[in-house]
Structure 1
Amino acid sequence: MSKIVFLHPDLGIGGAERLVVDAALALQLKGHQVHIVTSYHDPGHCFPETKDGTIPITVSGNWLPRSIFGRFLALCAYIRMVWASFYTVFLSDMQPQVYFCDQVSICIPVLRLFTSVPVLFYCHFPDLLLASHQSWIQKLYRAPLDWMEEKTTGLATTTVVNSHFTAGVFCDTFKSIHRKPKVLYPSLNFQTFDRECGSNLSNIIGTKQVVDFVYLSINRYERKKNLGLAIKAFGLLKSLLSDAKIHLIMVGGYDDRLVENVEHYEELRTLTASLQIGNSITFLRSPSDETKTCLLKNCDTLVYTPDKEHFGIVPLEAMYCQLPVIAVNSGGPLESVEDHRTGYLCHPTVEDFAEKMKHLYENRNLATKMGERGRQRVIEHFSFNSFSQQLNELVGELTGSIA
């Protein structure tokens, strides 16, 4: 069995972090030894497996700035990852057989130049497409970073992406990389969602009013996640079903170090107040895994609003917990959600979302059937065992290539 060292920039509680943790657990399950090196890890804001010792964590480079006056986040992430790679190669005695890197590819040339160890790079999505290039200053700042992202990504021994959608975007974006990436879908560790949850929904909502249908949104508090769409659609739904006892729970990953998280959370609260639906919406910031599991098990429908999301793990979590999913008809949900069978794929408009939300409210038996189909689809196509086996095969191919 091999030792695999993971390099990840900021080990919080986002979807990318969940995949890294699941990848480490998957390889542990196959008998490999794993270790994660990161530039930041807060025990109060992390997945439990990284806190309880299940996965060994080393933090190096936390003294380096995460931003400069709230700006230059990408540049700072590059610097922190270069440091993490230098630390791993020169200042530690880890001696892995495989490096697993994701999100920031700048560490790859350090690993390839100073070691003979193969590098597996997991590309969640090209960062250059997520960054703003509107002003000439932004273009000037991003130009060398975008160039380095493409060139360093091409140095990986093997590149993996999270969906066929991302694979297509990868090939269209990185023209100089002629090797097509492999697709490894994220998965679910079913045991996480099979455990009993002690919380109850009424306590989480914090209201004494009777509620008989609850919509759930789970995403980071970032503008690109289009969370305002869920609130506006719910506001329209309230006007269409004036007597309905419905509620919307907005759950978001939140880090008070990130200006956008803080600003966007307040923007959404202001939007809710302007629509006069504050009594029917609950906002939660970075809830515990137990609370999140309780919500997925006890709410009635997931409302998933990101447009062109590269994959999206939340729809899988919802389907496994037997919730129908209402999502935008682009990106990863096209591969995870079966339209009209496990939920609905909609245009990213308030009217379309509100119409589907209304239809499921009025057709509870259909919502139940969609939930049952969704759970079966996740079990058949996105199991943790399948993910573990595919990842183990990738590692096997890489370790067999060492001279």
Structure 2
Amino acid sequence: MAKGKATSKLNIAIIHPDLGIGGAERLIVDAAVELASYGHKVHIFTAHHDKNRCFEETISGTFPVTVYGSFLPRHVFYRLHALCAYLRCLFVAFCMLFMWPSFDVIIADQVSVVIPILKLKRSAKIVFYCHFPDLLLAQHTTFLRKLYRTPIDYVEEVTTGMADLILVNSNFTASTFANTFIHLNAKGIRPAVLYPAVNVDQFKEPSSFK
């Protein structure tokens, strides 16, 4: 398919927690640029976007970026990061639900708790990109940490399984997904591998970002 000549142009939304500078953000920006190059209408929604510290593509006009919930805290005294991320992303999802028309495809990145809300847009297919199971990145070393993480870990697995399509970036991550989310694996819910997940040609030249 030639770029800019998509036979069926789609209205695509991407929801991402914090559109700063990082590997996850680079992937989302590359995906948005590539989809737009095929003629699809792409719109990124996020809880934070600092125009002085972001990838250039997010302010170049290739696709719009809309911010909701930047006033919500990222942490509470440097704790409860996961809970705050959930609340911020849920706020973004509810704003999308009530303030924007239906999308053909919604790509949820990193935080799966938004998927049940996004599924209320019945005409949209939900794609979840799983970089790595969050429960494996969190500490469960003390009783209080385990008490805090148990409901979050449960919600992560349940809501991840609600996506119409789950994507990971390697067979290793797919295997880790299966070994971590054992209930989803038992139901036959397995992710598809998208590799490479970013435009590798960009690394041939110095990156351009602000």
TM-score, normalised with respect to structure 2: 0.89
**Which ranges in structure 2 are unaligned for 5 or more consecutive residues?**
1-8
In 1, the alpha carbon distance for the partners of 2:114 and 2:128 equals 10
Could you tell me the percent identity over the aligned residues?
49
| 1:128 counterpart residue number | 135
The one-letter code of the counterpart of 2:28 is V
In the TM superposition, residue 117 of structure 1 has moved relative to its aligned partner by 1.2
Tell me the equivalent position of 1:257: none
Is 1:176 aligned with 2:183? yes
Q: Who is 2:199 aligned against?
A: 188
8 A contact 2:56–2:208 mirrored in 1: no
Structure 2 counterparts to residues 3-402 of structure 1, below 5 A: 3-93=11-101, 95-177=102-184, 178-185=188-195, 186-188=197-199, 190=201, 192-194=202-204, 289-290=207-208
2:166 match: secondary structure: strand
8 A contact 1:22–1:189 mirrored in 2: no
From the superposition, tell whether residues 290 and 37 of structure 1 become closer, same or farther in structure 2 (CA, over 3 Å). Answer: closer
- Computing the radius of gyration over CA atoms, which structure comes out larger, 1 or 2? 1
Q: Secondary structure at the match of 1:77?
A: helix
Deviations 1:70-110 (A, max 9, x none): 110100000011111110010224x2100001100000001
Shift of 1:52: 1.8
Q: Is the 2:108–2:129 contact (alpha carbons within 8 Å) kept by the matching residues of 1?
A: yes
Report how far residue 126 of structure 1 moved. 0.3
Structure 1 residues 67 and 4 mapped into 2: Cα distance closer, same or farther (>3 Å)? same
Residue 189 of structure 1: CA displacement? 5.1
The one-letter code sitting in structure 2 at the alignment partner of 1:112 is: K
Alignment-derived partner of residue 328 in structure 1? none
Cα distance in 2 for partners of 1:92, 1:60 equals: 13
Q: Distance in 2 between the 1:78 and 1:116 partners?
A: 24
Q: Which has the higher helix share?
A: 1
Higher relative contact order (CA 8 A, sep 6+): 2
Extract unaligned runs of 5+ from structure 1: 198-288, 292-403
TM-score if structure 1 supplies the norm length? 0.47
> Which amino acid letter does the alignment assign opposite residue 55 of structure 1?
F
Q: What RMSD, in angstroms, separates the aligned Cα atoms of the two structures? A: 1.5
